[in-house]
Structure formats: structure tokens, C-alpha cells
A and B are shown apart, each in its own frame.
Chain A
Amino acid sequence: MQAAKLGAETSPREREGAAQEAAPVISIREVSKVFGQGVAAFTALDRVQIDIGQNEFFTLLGPSGCGKTTLLRLIAGFDYPTMGEIRLFGQDIARQPPFKRPINTVFQNYALFPHMTVGQNVGFGLEMLGRPKAEIAGRVDEMLRLVRMEALKDRRTSEISGGQQQRVALARALAPQPKVLLLDEPLSALDYKLRKEMQIELKRLQHETGITFIFVTHDQEEALTMSDRIAVMSGGRVLQIGSAHDIYERPTERFVANFIGETNFLEGQVQGGGSVALDAGSVVPALPPEGFAPSGRVTVVIRPEHARLVPSGTAGSLAGTVSNAVYFGTDTHYHVTLGDGSEFMVRQQNSRASASHEIGAPVGVAIDEGAARMLRD
């Protein structure tokens, strides 16, 4: 039914795009948001382009001030973009008020109505949609069961804990069966253990409801463990979109590589045949990001777990000396100063077989096959 609707209301150009991949639920087209005017103007979003598919757990990841919350507010309708379109099933909704969009939000501090009970909060959306009382009652019970809160239906929202408020906020946003659920750092107010629990809970809810989730967080670990796809944002721009694996293993920009996990950057000179002559004194094969033809100076990124310490002088390895070793139980982080003075970190799993290296000892750093990637900047 949705496909038919889509076909009827979209232009031929869009239909072509839709034919290539599954039709996106939300399509953000060249969206910019500028706050203020003249000298005081601040660009919060700069020509953002994202497609989010059916039943996807999509995460907007970035440091505070990167524009992720602004983007979420534009999708919810609390603010309107300065330029661009936000399409829901192909229809531009960018200038519709929030109460006309089949999109619901879980707020950072839950924003539960303090003068209503838990049940009344959950039923609010359906009530506003003018659904019959019996349907609302049934749906409220169903939602509370889904988030395991049925026992607290008649409690006031001030009488329940933070984790419980979180569940009520989720039930309230899911009750009207939105097409898209927006989550604005919903776990940031919870303590560590509860947060882990809610992460699993959220994945379960998304799986059971089949609703597209757009999740905003600054916590890279949360993003990696929960998301189907991640958009890494910085300075109002989307730097990279991809699966957790893509983002971690194949970062295209320095910011992405740096923001997610620990990493090594090495400078070098591009050579023919997809390899880079590193300043530290070795030639490694390295792939460039898709659609990018590098030349001249380039930065190569290598994750610390994709390198090994080998005896000094081993062929193809980078020569250096151990400058520091930090023991982490399951593994040890060795900091190696390479020939050109750059620092390199190697994460080595601790096992009986693995040799320990003294600080100051000369070593070789061997890079795993295919582990090095060129960056765009």
C-alpha cells in the first residue's frame, strides 16, 4: 500500500532512486539550518543529506554542538529548516507542525506530564488523535506491558524512578504507532547498569514494533552496539554514513577515525598501485575511501588492534622503540615511537604466548594485511 502511495506521489527522478534501493522512510535532502542573522548567523546544519530506511535503527553520532539534536528537532517539527526538504515516504513535511507528523519523540529528560498518571501520559497521543476510549485503554495496557510497566499505570509520574520514567516516555511515544520514533539521548540520564539494560530493551522494542528509530547520542560505544547504521556528524555536516563496522574499520575522515575508538595516524606519500610510502620508513598497501583519488601527501589510519609487535628488523615492519606499556588485564597497550618521531599504539592481547616488551627496547611494528586506510583529508 505504501509502495503504491509512493509511486503515485513522487516524481520520476525519485522513483528511479527508489527503485535502486528500498524506499526510504525519511529522506533528508540538502537540509541547512541557520540560526540568527548577519554577523551573528550560526550554521547549525550544512546541506545534510541522509536516507533512512524502513525498520532501521539509525544513529546520529557526534560531539555536543555538532547539529545532531538540531536535525532531530527539524524531523520532529519543533523547528523548520532554513533550506532543504525533509521527506516522509516521499512527501515533504519540513514545514508541517509537529502535531501533523506521524513521528514521535522520546525526550532527553522524558518530559512526562507531571499532572497526569502514567496511564494518562501513555494515552495522551491517542486521545489527541481522537481515538475511541476503549481503543485507548487497550493500547495503553498493551504499551505498558511492552515496556513492563503495567503495575504502575495509576502512579503519578513524580512517584516513579528515572528508569521507569524512561520506559513510560518510550511507551508514550510508541502508543500512537508512529512511522518514525526519534530518541534524543534518552539514556544519558541513567546510570551505567540501567543504561546497558535499556540499550538491550531499545533494540528489543525496535525489533518488536518494526518502527524506524532515529537515535541521537554522543556516546560512540552506544552507537556502535545498537545501530544498524550510523551518521557521524561534526560542525553541522554529516561526515560519514555507514554500518558500525564500516565506520570503525573504514573511516574516511580524520574526525571519524578519531571520534570512534582509538586510532593511529601516519603520514606518507601516495604511490601507484594503492600503496603509501610512510614517513616512518615502510611501504604499506592502503585503500582510499570510495570515490576519492588521492595524490601526494596523505594520512593513513591504522587501528591499534591491527598491528603487532615483531622483533626489531623484521622485513616490512616499521622500526621503533617502546616508549610506554599500559596493562589492561585482557590486553596491553604498547606505545611505540617510530623513526620519524610519530607515536604509534599497538593493542596486544595478553596470552601465555605473547611476549612482553620492555620500555626502551627496539621493536618492529607489523601492520596487518588490508588494515591501513587512506583518509580523505
Chain B
Amino acid sequence: MAATDTPPPAPSLPSFEAEAQTRAARRNRLLTLPALLIIGIFGVLPLLIILVYSFLEAGPYGGVVWNFSTEAYVNFLFQADIFSDKLTFAPAYLLIYLRSFLFAVATTLVCLILGFPTAYFMATRPPRQRNLWVLLITIPFWSNLLVRTLAIMFIIRDEGLINSILMGMGVIDHPITMLYTNFAVLLGLLYAFLPFMVLPLYASLEKLDFRLVEAAYDLYATRWRVLWRVIVPASLPGIVAGCLLVFIPTLGAYVTPLILGGGTHLMIGDLIAQQFGSGRNWPLGSSQALILMAVVLIALFVYVRNTTGRTPHG
């Protein structure tokens, strides 16, 4: 009888805890709300607008006319004859995509080749020196990409630094044309994205246990084999991250090819910008942007499938 006066506290305890947990979970979800709102309003919503626009007709002076049309996608690959409306295959846009893809692959590979020794050097410095090297790598970020790209232009143009020096030394008679070439675009992209390769590689290599390197040397592995059999497998996460961080933004690069390519070596980013500007074809621009996104997603999927999840066999 006395027991009824005081309710047993023990059974209520777990439910109490569970309640506290759900409350904490709810609060945590609430904390993610601002970020989700920003992504939603400025990321997902514009994407939806682009998606809708890509299925509309182009307005005569830019903008869109609200009629459903797949013309933008058809125009990506085909050109309609002015008189007969007959569609003929027109690979101009496709070639620009291919060019951009090649540029992105080349940039990624060269960044990897240049970035790996750099990151390895940084990771093998004494711990106190390493932060200094990281700081040095991030210095380019302190100034605007546009300014830095213009600086490259001044260095490589016909009357620029390199040609002036070489001519002054008498190595060459007339300037080497570098500006507005593929070389200039590649150089600009390399310069812009190299830190994005070095930093994740460094993060990976810094965690590498260098006793493993010694163990491999000890077991008759030459320097080259130590690199391929121990260091590369161990830094694979950094290689994957670095390649993604370079490849994706390079594919859609806008400023660099515009300035250093001189409008004659277009990449996807410039093409899309043109449709919204002088081209006055918003649906076409939208469809090109979505196609780019699809290409990136497919490339990403294939790449990640091939580099991770697989067990590297020795």
C-alpha cells in the first residue's frame, strides 16, 4: 500500500533518457537549418530555374518565352537549316565540351605530377616548418584570381617579361607567341588550381607512417617501387580528393580561358556565359549548364568507382 504513494522511478528512467535524446536530435537538426536554407535558396532553386528555362523558347532580346520546347537540347548537337528546317549534325558545341574535358584532364594530370613531389617535400619537413609551407601554398588565395590571371598575361605576352628577357639576352630574335594559345590556357589553369591538388595530397602524406617507407627499402624495394607500392597506395585518398578538386572547377573554368585564351580557345564556362550575354539564348545556356553538370556527375561516378572501394592488391 505504501508502494502506491511513491511511483517506482526506475522504469521511467529509460524513457526519460530517450526523450532527452530525441530533444537533442531535434535541436541538432535545427542547427543545420541556416545552412540548408542557404543551399536551398541559392543552390537548388536556381538549378530548378535553369532546368525549367532549358525547356523553354528563347526570347528575342534575352529572357525566355513560356512555351515548352526541347530546341535547346536539340541545338546542342544539331543545326536547323534556315530554309528547310532540316537538322544537320553540328559538333561545334560538342567539340568545345571535348576541349574542356581534355583541358581538365591535362590540368589534373600535370597538377598531380607537379603537386605530388611538392606535397611530399612539405610532409617530410620537420613538423614546425610544415605550417609555414602550408601558408606559402595558400598565398595565391590572398589575391583575386582575375588579377593573378592578368598578371600571367603580362608575363607571357609578346612584349611581356619572358620575351623581353629572352630577346634581351639574344636567345631569340622575335617573341615567342604564348598568349592566346592552348599553352596559355593550360598554364593559367595549372597556376589557378595547383594549390587545390597540393593541399589534400599534403594532408594525406602527412599522415603517412614513414617507417613503412623504411620497411619497404629494407625489403629490397628500390626508390621507384617504394613510391608505387607504399607511398601512392597510402596517399590514395589525397590523390582522389585532389584530382576531384582540380578536375571539376577546371571543367567549368571561365575567367582563365577567357583572358588567356583570348576568346578563341573557348571552354564550357565561356560558352555558357556567351549564351546568357551576347548570344541571348537563355534556354541554350541553361541546357549547356545542365549537360556540363551531367558530365561532371558521370565522370565523378566513374572515377570514384575506379579509385576507391577496390582493394589495391599490393
Among B212, B217, B312, B313, contact of A98 (Cβ-Cβ < 8 Å): B217
Among B220, B229, B234, contact of A129 (Cβ-Cβ < 8 Å): B220
Among B222, B225, B314, contact of A116 (Cβ-Cβ < 8 Å): B314
Q: In the complex, what distance in Å separates the CA atom of A305 from the CA atom of B225? A: 56
The answer to whether A76 and B233 touch across the interface, beta carbons within 8 angstroms, is no
Q: In the complex, what distance in Å separates the CA atom of A208 from the CA atom of B189? A: 61
The answer to whether B212 and A99 touch across the interface, beta carbons within 8 angstroms, is no
Instruction: Identify the interface centre among B209, B218, B230, B313: most chain A CB within 10 Å of its CB.
Output: B218
Interface size class of A (residues with CB under 8 A): 20 to 34
**B residues near A113, Cβ cutoff 8 Å:** 212, 215-216, 230, 314
The answer to whether B211 and A111 touch across the interface, beta carbons within 8 angstroms, is yes
Q: In the complex, what distance in Å separates the CA atom of A125 from the CA atom of B225? A: 12
**A residues near B230, Cβ cutoff 8 Å:** 113
Q: Judge if B214 is at the interface, Cβ distance under 8 Å.
A: yes
Q: Judge if A104 is at the interface, Cβ distance under 8 Å.
A: yes
The answer to whether A76 and B218 touch across the interface, beta carbons within 8 angstroms, is yes
Among A77, A114, A128, contact of B225 (Cβ-Cβ < 8 Å): A128
Q: In the complex, what distance in Å separates the CA atom of A240 from the CA atom of B116? A: 48
Q: In the complex, what distance in Å separates the CA atom of A105 from the CA atom of B209? A: 16
Q: Judge if B219 is at the interface, Cβ distance under 8 Å.
A: yes
The answer to whether A77 and B211 touch across the interface, beta carbons within 8 angstroms, is no
Within 8 A of B (CB), among A2-53: none
The answer to whether A104 and B218 touch across the interface, beta carbons within 8 angstroms, is yes
A309 nearest CB across to chain B (Å):
52
Given A111-B212, A113-B212, A113-B230, answer yes or no on A124-B219 (Cβ-Cβ < 8 Å). yes
The answer to whether B314 and A124 touch across the interface, beta carbons within 8 angstroms, is yes
The answer to whether B220 and A128 touch across the interface, beta carbons within 8 angstroms, is yes
**B residues near A124, Cβ cutoff 8 Å:** 216, 219, 221, 229, 314
B123 nearest CB across to chain A (Å):
17
The answer to whether B220 and A125 touch across the interface, beta carbons within 8 angstroms, is yes
Q: In the complex, what distance in Å separates the CA atom of A172 from the CA atom of B219? A: 8
**B residues near A176, Cβ cutoff 8 Å:** 219-220
A: residues with CB less than 8 A from B are: 76-78, 97-99, 103-105, 107, 109, 111-116, 120, 124-125, 127-129, 172-173, 176
13 contacts between A and B (CB under 8 A): A76-B218, A78-B214, A99-B218, A99-B222, A104-B219, A111-B211, A111-B212, A113-B230, A114-B234, A115-B234, A124-B216, A128-B222, A129-B220
